Each structure stands twice: as C-alpha cells, then as structure tokens.
Amino acid sequence: MRMKWTSYPYILWMIIFIVVPLALILLYSFTVGEEGGITNLRFSLDNFRRFLDPKYLDVLWISINLALKSTLITMVLGYPLAMIIAKEKPKKRNVMILLLVIPMWMNFLLRTYAWLTLLGKNGFINYIITKLGFAPLNLIYNDRAVLLGMVYNFLPFMVLPIYSVLVKIDKSLIEAAEDLGANKFEVFSKVTFPLSIPGIITGITMVFMPAVSTFVISRLLGGGQYMLIGNLVEQQYLWVGDWHFGSAISIIMMAFILVTMAITAKFDNQKEGGGGLW
Amino acid sequence: MKKNIKLFITLGLILMVGILSTACGEDKPTINVYNWGDYVDPDVIREFEEEFGVKVNYDTFATNEDMYVSIKKGGTSYDVVFPSDYMIERMIEEGLLEKLNKDNIPNLANIDERFLDLEFDPNNEYSVPYMWGTVGIVYNKNMVDDVVDSWDILWNEKYEGQILMLDSQRDSIGVALKKLGYSMNTRNLEELEEAKEELIKQKPLVYAYVGDEVKDLMVAEEAALAVVWSGEAIAIGRENDNVEFAIPKEGTNLWFDCMVIPKNAKNKELAEEFINFMNRPEIAARNTEYVGYSTANIKALEYLPDYIRNSSVAYPSDEELQNVEIFKDPKDFLSVYDEIWVEVKAQR
C-alpha cells in the first residue's frame, strides 16, 4: 500500500492527537506511582482491581442502564420520524432535515441549560400546569430528566443514519413486494426494515457512545445526584488528580464501547449496503 | 530518498505554521492570572493594565482541586493564583509556590491582623489574603417556618425535595461532620464513616447538589434551604428579599482565598506589583463590592457602602465565629474523602 505524500500531515495529526494520547492512557492505566516522569511509574493492575469495588461497579451499571434506555427511546422515537422524512418529496425532505439539525448549531451546553428553566419547580412547564389548575410536578433532578436530556440531545444521531439508509432503498423493491401481494405491514417487516438495519446499527452506536460517557447532562439535569462513569472519570482527572485510576476507568469504558461496536458490527456484516454516517 | 525529501518539506511546512502562529505576540509585558470565576471586578484588571502598561491574561477555575491539578500537571504557567487555605498548605508542602518578596508588597500592611500569620502559611511567606468567608445555610423565610440555627434542619423530612447541598466533597462531608459534632478536619475513619451514613440518609431529601447554580435556584425560589459560601448569600440577598443567612451553632468552616505566586511564574516582579495593586484600599473595596465576599483588607472597609460593611453575613461577630474551623489539607485522607463522595453520589 503506497500512500501519497500529501497524506503525511494527516498521519502526523493522527499520531499526535489519537495514537499518542491513547498510548498514554494505556500506560497510565497499567501503572501506579507518583508524578515525576515516566521513569517513576511501576506496572500494576491496582487501578483495575480498585474498579471491581461494588461502589464503582454500581456506577458502571447505572451508566449502562441509562445509556441503554436512552438508546432504546431514541430508536423508538427516531425510526418513525426517519420514515416520515424519507417518504417526503426531496424539497420538503431537505427542509425537515434542516429543521432537525438547526438546534445542533447551538451549543450543546446551552441547550441543556435551557431545560433547567423549562423543567424547574417554578419553571415554564410547571407554570402552565399550575395555571391549568393542577399540582406542580417534580420534573427535574431525577432519572426522567437525565433521560430526557439524553434523548433530546442525541435524537438527531439516531434519525440521520436511519434516514440516509431509508432514502437510498430502491423503490422498485417495495413495488415488487406490493405486486407480489404483500400488505403494508409485510412490506415493512420483510423489506424496508431489514434493509434499514445498517442505519439502525449506526444510530445505536452513535447514541450509545455519547450517552454512556456523558457527564454534563447527568450533572445539570440530574442535579449532581448521579455519579455516572463520565462523572467518575472527570472527578479523577480534574479534582482528585489520580490520572492512573481515571485512565483505567476510561479504558474499561472504551472496552465496553468496543464490545458493543463489535456486536453491532456483526449484525452489520450480515447485510449489504451503506452504513449511513460511518 | 525522494520520499524523504517530501516528508521533510511537509514537516517543515507544519513547523512553520506552528512558529508563525505563536510568534506574532505583542511586546508588552504580560502576566497570567488564575482566579475563581466571577471573583474580581473586571474594571480593576483593566485599570491595572493601563496604569502599568501591561497585559493581563485572565483565566478562571471552579474548584481548588481543578486549579491544583492544572498547576501541578497541566504544564501551565501562571503568575498569580488565588487558592484557599488548605490548598495553599498542600502547595507549600509540595514546593509549588514561590516565596513573596514583601518589599514589593507594602500594601500587605492593609491586611487585617486577624488574617495574617495563620496556620496554613505562618508569617505569610507565600500568600496574601484576598477574601474570606464562612459556610452557612441560606433559606427562604416564606418557605421555612422553623428557626434555622443548626445543621439538623438539613435532615428535617419536612423539607424533602427543597434542600440544596454543595456539590463539593470537602464542604458537604464537613457539614455532616459538624452536624455530628466532629471536627471538619477529622482523621478518624469511624467518624468519617458516620458522616457518610449521614449524607446517604439525607440524600432522599436533597433536591440537588449544585455549584454556582445555587444563586439562580434560590433567587427563583426553587428551593427552601441551601448550603452556601457567605458571599453567595449576599449575592442572593441582593435579588431576593425573602432570603436570610444563618451560621449554625455547631460551628462551621472559615476559609480564606489568598493570592500566591507559583514556582514556574514567568514574571514574578509584575506578579508582586499586581498583588500590591489589589491591596490598595479603594481597589480592594471595589472588588469586595463586586463579588460580595468579605475582604481581608481592613483599610478597604471605609470605602464600602454601609449595607456591606454592616452586614452580619459578610462580617459576622466574633461570637458567631467562635466554633469555626479552618480546613487543613487532608493529605493521605484525600482518597477516603473521594471514596465517600462516590458512594454518596452513587447511592440511589
């Protein structure tokens, strides 16, 4: 394989910003020792052993649980939406996609902050509810608020890949199915859905990855009552300064994401067709 | 061989872009200042720049811990930093701070004697106090009908879902320790374990663990009670008249934020000039009025408006300060604090 010399800057870029940091995280995760240069590090599995403590496993479990739930919800919400958009005429379709993407032009943090004022005890939603004569609801600082934040922020990542696969489906396949006597449900379950699986799988990875590692959503909408795995890494790096343990947690998280990607890729390989955004 | 030449050209180009983009700075002397967010009057910085013909790069942090990590590991170079008491103790011990040349800081004489020569930095060799304060409970009179004079009220089931705690492990564990009648600097594992149980017991009553958002939440009357640093109470009080501040009788934490110069500072003289400037009485007064915390500069008091100077929140009586403790560096107990906090947070 011969690479053009114009690709060297990219390779250099990747070495500096991807390979070296990853190698450092690996190095830190398998070592202990006070700072003072690489020479003072000793090989150790202590960081990983420490993670096996029930309190950290709980954190991992809560994170995975929330991430799975939000992935499922975005899928249930996102698939019909992608279908609706894909069925429209190109012009209308583009407008709809634009509308879906426009909120993403705004800063992610700002959009999450906006939910605080909407969901608060005296926030906008509760204002309307009380005006209608009902008792105010507890909307913020709980599981549902965190889930809502994840679903809201990551929905486009589910819709876009599914949409891009659905648009590319050859219409004649659907017509053929109809000609052969399939009803609407059968067309969907036997033709459209199987063909769209690569999109769904891309969508799942695109949502699951940020959801399992988020630390902003859980802090803002969870009122700091949630220690998710992302918060744990943040805590180790920023406040405790234990980069070894922080790196080990990152490696464990990466391993989890890799496993999920491997599983989903297995599904993906069984089907032909484009994988959306990847 | 040809390939290598091309590689050289590419590398050369990359290097040149790098050099060009860093080489076009100004000639003015600069200092890098690292302070808590929203902790200085921005006009004061501008005035310093004009008077001394220098440039100030101003950067902020949110907790002592993240400041410490970026000084120690971040490869940063700051000239003036504003850490708190226990963190100064740790930084001195680890040799991260430069000794001050007091000849360059004559305004050190303006500092209240009560705040000099404290345990974390005897003789003030490294630090000049900037602001100080306490930790207490801020509450909304319309929503709380009990007397607020004890940490116990934060465990009162009547206020379920209306209590805000600080999202800061040191402060929250400190509150639990004080409630139990222990020292905030305890090195007794059993006492810390009890404090953890106390916090877990309290968790269902807590609305949220917050940082800076506490101001917005209390002003908007989203919660009834909140643990805050005293200066926040003043800031909240300016915007909502129903809010009062109380220092619980079991005692609380007294803290100091000071100005220090890190070891790797590039412009030490200018940094000392800056510290001296910040301690001019009128400048210190303007900062105090802007941030709401209590100044350590006794000469600045005359320049302050009455409502601040006479505020019992900012300047509590000696009687109220009887039971206070100053944080000490937990040293090897840091990981204990850290694990307690993870456990409290992960509790459902």
Calculate mean pLDDT across residues A242-262: 89
Question: What's the confidence (pLDDT) of residue A239?
Answer: 79
- A241 Cβ neighbours under 8 A, 6+ residues apart: B65, B68, B69, B72, B73
Task: Give the distance from CA B111 to its chain's centroid.
Answer: 18
Beta-carbon contacts of B126 under 8 Å, excluding residues fewer than 6 positions away, are: B88, B91, B92, B97, B98, B99, B100, B260, B261
Task: Give how far B170 is from chain A: nearest CA, Å.
Answer: 11
CA distances from A128 to A111, A124, A133 (A): 21, 6, 9
Q: Do A224 and B10 touch (CB under 8 A)?
A: no
Each residue's pLDDT tens digit, B162-178? 999 998 888 999 999 99
Percent of chain A surpassing pLDDT 70: 93
Residues 6+ apart with CB under 8 A from A34: A40
Q: Do A81 and A200 contact (CB within 8 A), yes or no? A: no
Cβ-Cβ contacts under 8 Å, A221 against chain B = none
Token digits for A249? 């947690």
Residue B327 confidence class, pLDDT cut points 50, 70, 90: very high
Of A72, A84, A216, give the one whose Cα is nearest residue A151.
A72
- CB spacing of B222 vs A227 below 8 angstroms: no
Integer CA distances (angstroms), B11 to A11, A85, A225, B18, in order? 11, 47, 49, 11
CA dist B282 and B110 (Å) reads 11
**DSSP H stretches of helix in B95-229:** 169-179, 189-202, 214-219
Q: Which residues contact B91 (CB under 8 A, 6 or more apart)?
A: B68, B71, B83, B97, B126, B260, B262
SS3 B97: strand
Q: In the prediction, which pLDDT does B107 show? A: 94
Complex confidence, ipTM: 0.78
- Percent of chain B's residues with pLDDT above 90: 64
Calculate ∠ Cα B325-B331-B332, nearest 5°.
130
d(CA A218, CA A126): 21
pLDDT category of residue A3 using cuts at 50, 70 and 90:
low
Residue bearing tokens 């922020």:
A153
Structure tokens given for B204: 């269902």
**Which chain A residue shows the shortest CA-CA distance from B162?**
A121
Residue B73 forms contact with A (CB below 8 Å): yes
- Contact call for A241 and B68, based on CB within 8 A: yes
Answer whether B214's CB lies under 8 Å from B164's CB. yes
In chain B, the domains with their CATH numbers are 10-17+21-131+256-309 (3.40.190.10), 133-254+322-346 (3.40.190.10)
Q: For chain B, what is the mean pLDDT? A: 89
Residue B147: how many other CB atoms lie within 10 Å:
8
Determine, for residues A141 and B207 on separate chains, whether the beta-carbon distance falls below 8 Å. yes
Per-residue pLDDT, averaged over A183-194, amounts to 90
Domains present along chain A, CATH in parentheses = 1-44 (no CATH), 53-270 (1.10.3720.10)
Question: Cα B52–B55–B57 angle (5° rounding)?
Answer: 135
Residue A226 forms contact with B (CB below 8 Å): yes
Average pLDDT, chain A: 88
Q: Does B75 score more than 80 pLDDT?
A: no
Closest chain A residue to B14, measured at CA: A9
Residue B80 burial (10 A CB sphere; 0-12, 13-18, 19+): buried
Helices A20-29 and A243-270: crossing angle in degrees, nearest 10, is 120
Element spanning B258, H or E: strand B254-260
**Cβ-based burial of B101 (10 A; exposed 0-12, middle 13-18, buried ≥19):** exposed
- What is the C-alpha separation between B264 and B97, in angstroms, rounded? 8
Alpha-carbon torsion, ordered B20, B22, B25, B30, to 10 deg: -170
CB distance B3–A239 less than 8 Å? no
Instruction: Give the per-residue pLDDT at B73.
Output: 77
Distance from C-alpha of B62 to C-alpha of B78, rounded to nearest angstrom: 16
